[in-house]
């Protein structure tokens, strides 16, 4: 069974904000917010162009990444392994 190494604490997302050139902070898996955290829908989420299309069969784990400097939010798709 595929697992997300980031969710399991075995890896970290290394995504740099293109504007500030600093490392963004992982705010966790998007699914965790869907039911209980509706305010997050108001954040404009820009899809990170990392060459991976969203596809459930590919077992991707979408994480919210927030830049601590400019507060931009991104979705980073972690490939489960």
- Minimum Å gap between C-beta 41 and Zn ion is 19
Nearer to Zn ion, 41 or 68 (CB): 68
Nearer to Zn ion, 20 or 25 (CB): 20
The least distance separating Zn ion from the CB of residue 24, rounded to whole angstroms, comes to 7
* CA distance linking residue 75 with residue 77, whole number of Å: 6
The continuous run of DSSP H or E covering 1 comes out as none
Residues near Zn ion (CB under 5 A) are 4, 6-7, 17, 19-20, 29, 61, 67, 69-70, 78
Report the nearest approach of Zn ion to the CB of residue 50 (Å).
Answer: 14
Cβ proximity to Zn ion: between 27 and 29 the closer is 29
CB 65 within 8 A of CB 76: yes
Alpha-carbon dihedral of residues 26, 14, 41, 49, nearest 10 degrees?
A: -170
Element (H, E) at 35: none
């Amino acid at each position: 069974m595929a697992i997300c190494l980031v969710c399991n604490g075995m890896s970290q997302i290394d995504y740099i904000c293109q504007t500030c050139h600093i490392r963004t902070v992982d705010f966790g898996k998007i699914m965790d917010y869907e039911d209980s955290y509706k305010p997050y829908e108001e954040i404009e989420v820009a899809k990170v162009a990392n060459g991976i299309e969203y596809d459930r069969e590919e077992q991707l784990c979408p994480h919210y990444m927030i830049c601590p400097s400019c507060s931009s939010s991104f979705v980073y798709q972690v490939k489960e392994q």
